[in-house]
Amino acid sequence: MAWFRKKPLPPRPAITDPFAVIPLQPEDVTVRRDSQGHIHLRRFPPLSSLQRRVATWLGYDYSRKIALDEHGTRYYALVNGTHTLRTIADQLISASGRDRKIVEEGVIVFTKKLMTMNMLALKVPGTAQWKPL
C-alpha cells in the first residue's frame, strides 16, 4: 500500500552563477534614511478589509521594518535594478578591503535574509545559464 508515500519532486533548474542575478527593490518597500545616514526599510503587507479596519481601530501598525547598519546601507544603496550581485560584491570589496570570499558569502546571506523578509526581489537576466539540480 503505497498511497501514503510522497511523490518525488521534479528536478528544478539552478543558476550556475548566483552572482549574475540583479537585486530589485519591491514596489511596496519604502526606504528612509536616518540622521546618521543609515537606511531603514519598511514594507506594508497587503491586508484584507477586516484586518485593515481592525488595525485602524486599534492603531496597530502591520508594517514590517528593518534598520540596516553601515554595511547593509552600503549594500542596499547599490540596489538600483542595473547592478548585479557581482558588481555589488566588487564595490563592497573595494570599499571595505576585506577578503573576497568573506564578502561574497556575506552578500549571499544578506540577500537571502532580505528576500525572506520580502524586502528584496531578484531578476534573473536572460544571459544567466541554467543547470538541472
**Single pTM value for the model:** 0.76
pLDDT for residue 70? 92
- What does pLDDT average to over the chain? 86
- Dihedral sign from CA coordinates of 92, 68, 28, 18: positive
What cell numbers appear for 37 in the block? 545616514
CA–CA gap between residue 42 and residue 31 (Å, rounded) = 7
CA–CA gap between residue 76 and residue 120 (Å, rounded) = 9
If you average pLDDT over residues 107-112, what whole number do you get?
94
**CATH code for residues 13-125:** 3.90.930
Q: Write the burial class of residue 131 (CB in 10 Å: 0-12 exposed, 13-18 middle, 19+ buried).
A: exposed
Residue 132 has pLDDT above 60, yes or no: no
Q: Residue 109, SS3? A: helix
Query: pLDDT grade, residue 29 (50/70/90)?
Result: very high
pLDDT tens figures, 35-80: 999 999 999 877 788 887 887 888 877 778 999 999 999 999 999 9
